Structure 1
Amino acid sequence: MLDRNHRANQRERTLLSKTSFIRALSPMASSKMLDGAHIATMPARASIFREGEAALSFYCLLSGYVRLYRVSRDGRQADIRICGPGDMFAECLIYGGDKYRFNAQAAENVTLARFDMQDVRELAEQDPTVAKAIMATLSDHLLSTMDCVVNDRLHTAPQRVADYLLTRCATENGPTSIRLPYQKSLLAGMLGLAPEALSRAFSSLRRTGVTVRGRVIQIGNVEALKDV
């Protein structure tokens, strides 16, 4: 259930204006999108929507992280995507169906903007920049999904973790450290791993100088991590 629902204030409009989706719109369309944004804050683990519910809105995340996932018949969960600040989600349903195809849950305290699907459909008919921005967002998500499929099929668990760490290293060689933006259980789901498989992967990376202390990951040698 959404909490503290209100129209976007100036600070929130500024944050939304910096997202790639809003930046791609014409001044008229951008103004209408910002005017139509409803801002909500939600606590960690709160449900934003559930699979099978009527798809009336899509969202842009302003702060925190949101987990998108599906549940099998026997109750197992599979993460689809972890959304961070500036990311949009459920916009695929603007032209793709009338029910949500997955679940969305706040992974921590979040602030998000909600947009009405029908209002945006009508705006897209009036202004082609809206349709183009939607297509660009969907294209980005498709390419990202393809990368995830390839990663799952071609890389071992330690390789997936090493690749994730390398994309966040501030240096090309030598020692460094990074701080995970969210808890390790969320990282496990994002990488398609069970929590225990993630722990084993981190253990196997100790030989390259990787140590884990809470959310802080110490990397002894970035070059060694590249050879995993």
Structure 2
Amino acid sequence: MTNVNKTVKLSNKDRNILVRAPFIGAGDDASALKLLEAAAIVTFDPRHILFRENDPAEHLYCVLNGFVRIYRLNKDGREADIRVCGPGDTFNECLICGSDRYRYNAQTAESTTLARFELPRIRNMIEQEPGVAKAVMQCLSNSLLNAMDCVANDRLQTAPQRVANYLITSGPHGATSYSLRLPFQKSLLAGKLGLAPEALSRAFSTLRDAGVTVRGRVVQVNDIGALRQI
């Protein structure tokens, strides 16, 4: 894994993101401190492959800045996004007590800063520190619940409903209309919502009747009430 820009010190902003992540924040102060000390802060260029499916599993990650695509490839090379991880999200928790090989591929979507933890070190800490074990269990529980929510949304929501829900939850609380700049390219949003790019485009077209207009990465929501009725 080359093309790491640099290893950097943990800034106050990065520390605040880490301590709010369930992987660290669910434990006591002593375990949180030990986990913070175990973190290596690294930055990567855009589109850097962090690891590939079936590579030996080495690290657990928490995103501090930027976005990471988690995806699978079929035998024909077709990609399917499983998850898009942003600041505060962790990934590879499933490998702490599971497989010794990565189960998917991971690639940075832009210049990205990550907290990286060595899996063997985390496993040793779990055995020795009850607080760390509690934090990891909370993190695994959250991951399972989020995965179940994603499956439910995929089965219960249409493509326009998924996009509408994203716009509603991403907008300012209490606003009836607002302008939203997508934090990443629309192709990445499609993967995040479990849609093909062309399905996302059709969904945005459908939402025009609800007052949604799109110009590049800027989305204008003119009637949040109408959007909630989708």
Q: TM-score range by the shorter chain?
A: over 0.9
What SS does the aligned partner of 2:98 have? coil
Counting aligned pairs with the same residue, the percent is 54
Q: Distance in 2 between matches of 1:173 and 1:109?
A: 31
Counterpart contact for 1:8–1:34, Cα < 8 Å: no
Counterpart contact for 2:53–2:101, Cα < 8 Å: yes
Counterpart contact for 1:175–1:219, Cα < 8 Å: yes
Counterpart contact for 1:5–1:40, Cα < 8 Å: yes
Q: TM-score, normalised by structure 1?
A: 0.93
Counterpart contact for 1:173–1:221, Cα < 8 Å: no
Structure 2 residue aligned with 1:215, among 211, 217, 224?
217
Task: Give the CA deviation at 1:32.
Answer: 2.4
Q: Which residue of 1 aligns with 2:47?
A: 45
**Contiguous gaps of at least 5 residues in structure 1:** none
Larger mean Cα displacement after TM superposition, 136-145 or 22-31: 22-31
Task: Give the CA deviation at 1:149.
Answer: 1.1
**Contiguous gaps of at least 5 residues in structure 2:** none
Q: Quick check: 1:6 aligned with 2:7?
A: yes
Structure 2 residue aligned with 1:100, among 77, 90, 102?
102
Counterpart contact for 2:177–2:223, Cα < 8 Å: yes
Larger mean Cα displacement after TM superposition, 109-118 or 7-16: 7-16
Q: Distance in 2 between matches of 1:65 and 1:160?
A: 20
- Mapping of residues 24-39 of structure 1, within 5 Å: 24-39=26-41
Q: Distance in 2 between matches of 1:6 and 1:221?
A: 45
Task: Give the CA deviation at 1:18.
Answer: 4.0
Structure 2 residue aligned with 1:19, among 11, 18, 21?
21
Q: Distance in 2 between matches of 1:141 and 1:216?
A: 30
What SS does the aligned partner of 2:170 have? coil
Q: Distance in 1 between matches of 2:102 and 2:7?
A: 23
CA RMSD of aligned residues (A): 1.8
Q: Distance in 2 between matches of 1:99 and 1:187?
A: 27
Query: Which of structure 1's runs of 4+ aligned residues deviate more than 6 A?
Result: none
Q: Which residue of 2 aligns with 1:154?
A: 156
Count of residue pairs the alignment pairs up: 228
Q: TM-score, normalised by structure 2?
A: 0.92
